């Protein structure tokens, strides 16, 4: 009996048994062009991460931004002051909504990679079978989701403030500039988290770049009131175009023009800028700079 050869399973029988168990045959690719399952899994993981602490990530930023409306409308809106033909509270509300959206998009996108590097868990992002594009799409999508939720919370809260009219004159502009502004800060936040080595680096970008550009973007004023030099400086600020375009969607007028043609040109330029920034971030991700070394 010991001299008899061991029984071996033929390749055909092994393949049939594998297929019967629900597994693909050997050599048949499981993931084709896009790993939709992995992409959706990472996206949902990031959304659940910030939604689990929604008091801190959604409602707290919304209420903090609402305080700007309360303070500035009380301080500057007395006496029936009007800007662009509407009361001051109605003028400033759209800018505050999109400013809150952008700041929270940056905060969300800049956290995950940086915390992974600090805690030594960055391998959880790099090891799964996800391409650089799929990884970036999931992270940016989750950050934009948080931005939209903050924007909706702000919209609902500002409707309760006396004298604020948030009726939409051009809904397409609200959607486009809201999403493009959120995408711009999401991609920028992802790029920042790749560069940063510690939380101080990320805080420096937030405090010395994001916050000043947000506050000096025409959120609380029209740039026509500024000196010519400062008007030129303001027009070099991408936040100015995002906030003005978003405001156009509500009021039908803004600093960048009162016609659809002027705003559409700005919208196209913003889309091109986002595409360029996304390509730069993709190439940095693909190089593995500060992630795989």
Q: Which domain holds residue 113?
A: 30-287
Say what percent of the chain tops pLDDT 90: 59
In a domain, 109, yes or no: yes
Residue 3 pLDDT > 70: no
Of residues 6 and 254, more confidently modeled: 254
Query: What's the chain's average pLDDT?
Result: 87
CB contact at 8 A, 190 and 109:
yes
| Gyration radius of the chain over CA positions | 25
Residue 10: per-residue pLDDT:
53
Structure letter (DSSP) for residue 86: E
Residue 172 pLDDT > 90: yes
| 55, containing H or E segment | none
Handedness of CA 168, 169, 174, 176 (dihedral sign): positive
> Of 40, 86, 285, 63, nearest to 187 (Cα)?
285
Residue 13 pLDDT > 60: no
Average the pLDDT over 14-31 and give the result. Answer: 58
User: What residues have CB less than 8 Å from 187, skipping those under 6 apart?
Assistant: 109, 136, 140, 274, 277, 278, 281
In a domain, 292, yes or no: no
Q: Residue 270 is encoded by which pair of tokens?
A: 């913003």
With bands split at pLDDT 50, 70 and 90, how would you rate the model's confidence at 28? low
Q: Please provide the DSSP assignment of 216-263 as one string.
A: TSSSSS-GGGS-HHHHHHHHT-HHHHHHHHHHHHHHS--TT-SSHHHH
Residue 17: per-residue pLDDT:
52
Of residues 258 and 186, more confidently modeled: 186
Residue 75 pLDDT > 80: no
3 state SS of 38: helix
Average the pLDDT over 8-12 and give the result. Answer: 51
Residue 234 CB neighbours (<10 A): 20
Q: Render pLDDT for 173-220 as a digit per residue (tens, 0 to 9).
A: 999 999 999 999 999 999 999 999 888 999 999 999 999 999 888 888
Backbone angles phi, psi at 290, to 5 degrees: 65, 10
Q: Rounded CA gap, 247 and 231, in Å?
A: 18
Lowest mean pLDDT across 184-188, 224-228, 239-243, 272-276: 224-228
Q: Residue 212 is encoded by which pair of tokens?
A: 């000043």
**Which of 94-103, 156-165, 258-267 is most confident?**
94-103
In a domain, 53, yes or no: yes
Average the pLDDT over 155-169 and give the result. Answer: 91
In a domain, 25, yes or no: no
Give the residue carrying structure tokens 């903050």: 150
What is the pTM assigned to this prediction?
Answer: 0.87
Residue 1 pLDDT > 50: no
> Of 204, 181, 183, nearest to 192 (Cα)?
204
Q: Please provide the DSSP assignment of 212-223 as one string.
A: HHHHTSSSSS-G
With bands split at pLDDT 50, 70 and 90, how would you rate the model's confidence at 230? confident
Q: What's the total number of domains in the chain?
A: 1
CB contact at 8 A, 111 and 127:
no
Q: Rounded CA gap, 264 and 273, in Å?
A: 14
3 state SS of 34: coil
Q: Judging by DSSP bridges, how do beta strands 82-83 and 86-87 pair with one another?
A: antiparallel
With bands split at pLDDT 50, 70 and 90, how would you rate the model's confidence at 119? confident
Lowest mean pLDDT across 70-79, 188-197, 208-217, 257-266: 70-79
Average the pLDDT over 84-98 and give the result. Answer: 91
Treating both helix axes as pointing N-terminal to C-terminal, what angle do 260-287 and 171-195 enclose, rounded to 10 degrees? Answer: 20
In a domain, 253, yes or no: yes
Lowest mean pLDDT across 37-41, 119-123, 188-192: 119-123
Residue 292 pLDDT > 90: no
| 83, containing H or E segment | strand 82-83
Residue 20: per-residue pLDDT:
56
Count of all residues that appear for the chain in the document: 293
Average the pLDDT over 38-60 and give the result. Answer: 95
């Amino acid at each position: 009996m010991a001299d008899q050869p061991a029984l071996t399973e033929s390749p055909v029988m092994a393949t049939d048994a594998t297929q019967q168990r629900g597994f693909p045959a050997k050599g048949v690719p499981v993931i084709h062009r896009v790993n939709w399952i992995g992409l959706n899994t990472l996206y949902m993981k990031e959304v659940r991460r910030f939604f689990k602490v929604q008091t801190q990530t959604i409602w707290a930023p919304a209420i903090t931004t609402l305080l700007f409306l309360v303070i500035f409308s009380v301080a500057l809106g007395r006496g029936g002051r009007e800007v662009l033909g509407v009361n001051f509270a109605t003028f400033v509300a759209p800018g505050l909504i999109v400013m809150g959206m952008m700041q929270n998009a940056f905060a969300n996108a800049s956290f995950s990679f940086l915390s992974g590097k600090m805690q030594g868990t960055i391998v959880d992002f790099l090891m799964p079978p996800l391409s650089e594009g799929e990884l970036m799409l999931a992270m940016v999508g989750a950050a934009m989701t948080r931005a939209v939720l903050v924007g909706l919370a702000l919209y609902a809260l500002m409707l309760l403030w006396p004298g604020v009219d948030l009726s939409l004159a051009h809904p397409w502009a609200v959607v486009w500039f809201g999403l493009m502004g959120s995408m711009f800060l999401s991609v920028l936040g992802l790029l920042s988290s790749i560069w940063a080595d510690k939380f101080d680096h990320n805080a420096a970008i937030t405090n010395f770049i994001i916050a000043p550009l947000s506050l000096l973007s025409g959120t609380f004023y029209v740039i026509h009131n500024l000196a010519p030099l400062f008007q030129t400086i303001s027009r070099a600020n991408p936040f100015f175009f995002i906030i003005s375009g978003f405001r156009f969607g509500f009021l039908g007028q803004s600093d960048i023009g009162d016609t659809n043609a002027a705003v559409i040109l700005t919208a196209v330029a913003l889309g091109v800028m986002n595409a360029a920034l996304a390509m730069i971030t993709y190439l940095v991700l693909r190089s593995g700079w500060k992630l795989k070394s």
